Structure 1
Amino acid sequence: MIRGRALDATVENGVCRVRFNRPEARNTITPDLIAELGRALDACEERAVGVVVVEGGDRDFCFGADLDSVAAGEPGDADRDRGNVDALYDLWLRMATGPQILVAHVRGRANAGGVGFVAASDVVIADDTATFGLSELLFGLYPAMVLPFLTRRVGFGKAHYMTLMTRPVPAARAAEWGLVDAHGPRGDQLLLQHLGRLRRIPPETVGSYKRYMGRISPVALEAAREPAVRANLDIFSDPANLRRVTRFVEDGVYPWEASR
């Protein structure tokens, strides 16, 4: 179906399997990934595919923003990159409210924006190896775009705690908090069990149901779009934040460490 620079997508038995395929870069988020996943969802709508599975590799599901690209930027780049930021929020919004059942199958690390893909999904299946973390505050950033979707799943208190602690949460704890729906030592087996039921639901029913759930959700994702995008642009254009990221990317030094 699609073989791109950032992901592969195939359709079989009414299910589209999308796999992030940049393991050497920890499946970080790039414009290619955003565009290619959008095209995969377009193709699913055209073919009336009702279930879409998003997955990464054994070690990394998705590790968030491509910090190499952030480090290469200059103050003021945020305005130039408004289109990419808009596109990412709109992609998560489409996952959360669109006409397919979105299933996140998580192995390894989901960090920062990777948690956004998880939180925007309808069903989250995880291996016991999976962890979920928000590391942004360590760099003077915060997960502005992720939080509307994460809060919708786990509530304000847990989303706030995850953000402040910056520590990865294991799959079992994430399940207790409502971020993960099912987990076990063999997430692939759990996934197949869920797909056996989910693919029986008529695709035309899913869109109507998700629109209804969006209307009664305590978090208005569309209303949160502009403040989330604006905040993201502000924090990624701050010179101090860019210096912290660049120091980490180029020298491997975390913000709280002395220079080596």
Structure 2
Amino acid sequence: MTFDYITYEVEQRIAAITLNRPDKRNALNGAMVAELQQAFQQAGADDAVKVIVLKGAGEAFCAGADLEYLQQLQRNTFDENLEDSQALMRLMQQIYYHDKIVIAQVQGHAIAGGCGLVTLCDLSYAVPEARMGYTEVKIGFIPALVSVFLVRKTGEGRARELLLTGKLISAEKAQEYGLINEVVPAANIADYVNKVATALCEEAAANSLTMTKKLIGMVLDKPLDEALEHAARLNAATREHAECKKGIQAFLNKEKLVW
């Protein structure tokens, strides 16, 4: 599949989805959102893909919404804007609930919608120079969709601080807040993310990664007793999976296992 605003490559079971508008600092528009949906769907359907890395071309990760895109939104009707918002909502759901692990490689600034993409990923690594934040309130907009996910990731207090002030924070502060996992020097970040992705491919069973991701997303949606009951059922179902039987057998036999 050919894309205009992103690139998609698969190597060693790792799918690299790259925002590819470096001259626009990888700013989002409707077409890019649609292409991202297609790429994540393609990665999900490909048995040769186990981990997805989301990154940007050039100096920025993603600067948020494209200026021309914002101008168009002002001319839209309510129904047109609702349809557009729902398309972005579906992309966010797609990333958050994706069966495969999604890693953000943040090699530059991630602002507004760009920071929203980082928020959705399972693991995120950023360079020290990256500035991150949700600046929507500063232009009379609201960080509506991302707020649902940010509260889950950082807690209500941090989410209020970031969303209400619209301030940009350093990568170090983003790590402190739990928005990203680690700060990695720019010269090393590509290799570092590749090592993390490769380790997931080789050291963890695909079904175990998928089920664990589902468990993490589920526990916040259900009352405690209901969550525990659901977790017990997933536990029992996983024990019957071929990968679980293979892994336990290798452990009992003290055999080295590469997934």
1:21 aligns with 2:20: yes
Q: CA deviation at 1:217?
A: 2.3
Aligned CA distance change for structure 1 residues 155 and 4 (closer, same or farther; 3 Å): same
**1:31-50 deviation digits (Å, cap 9, x = unpaired):** 22122122212222222211
Higher-Rg structure is: 2
Once the two structures are superposed, residues 39-66 of structure 1 have per-residue CA deviations (whole angstroms, 9 ceiling, x without a partner) of: 2122222222111000013421111122
Q: Which has the higher contact order (CA 8 A, sep 6+)?
A: 1
Amino acid at match of 2:17: V
1:1-260 equivalences in 2 (<5 Å): 2-48=1-47, 49-74=49-74, 76-185=76-185, 186-200=188-202, 201-217=204-220
> Structure 1, unaligned stretches of length 5 or more?
221-260
Judge conservation of contact 1:183–1:190 (CA < 8 Å) in 2.
Answer: no
Q: Secondary structure at the match of 1:102?
A: strand
Instruction: Provide the secondary structure at the position in 2 that maps to 1:60.
Output: coil
Native 8 Å contact 1:182 1:190 kept in 2: no
Query: Mean Cα displacement is larger for which, 193-202 or 130-139?
Result: 193-202
User: More displaced, 169-178 or 127-136?
Assistant: 127-136
Contact 1:100-1:207 within 8 A present in 2 as well: yes
SS of 2:83 mapped into structure 1? helix
SS of equivalent residue, structure 1 residue 199: helix
**Whole-angstrom distance in 1 between the partners of 2:73 and 2:148:** 26
RMSD of the TM alignment (CA)? 2.0
Which amino acid letter does the alignment assign opposite residue 206 of structure 1?
L
Task: Report SS of the residue matched to 2:99.
Answer: coil
CA–CA separation in structure 1 for the residues paired with 2:91 and 2:151: 17
What secondary structure is seen at the aligned counterpart in 1 of 2:180? coil
Equivalent pairs counted in the alignment come to 219
Separation of aligned partners in 2, 1:69 and 1:196: 36
Q: Deviations over 1:63-103 (max 9, x none)?
A: 11223222234455331132321121111112111201000
| 1:72/1:85 CA distance change after superposition, 3 Å | closer
Residue 13 (structure 1) shift = 0.3
Tell me by how many angstroms 1:154 deviates.
1.1
Aligned equivalents of 1:110, 1:88: Cα separation in 2: 17
Residues 34 and 76 (structure 1 numbering): CA distance in 2 closer, same or farther, change over 3 Å?
Answer: closer
Structure 2 residue runs without a partner (length 5+): 224-259
Conserved? CA contact 1:148–1:219, under 8 Å? no
Distance 1:81 1:128, change over 3 A: same
Superposition TM-score, scaled by structure 1 size: 0.78
Comparing 210-219 and 97-106, the one that deviates more: 210-219
> SS at 2:37's partner residue?
helix
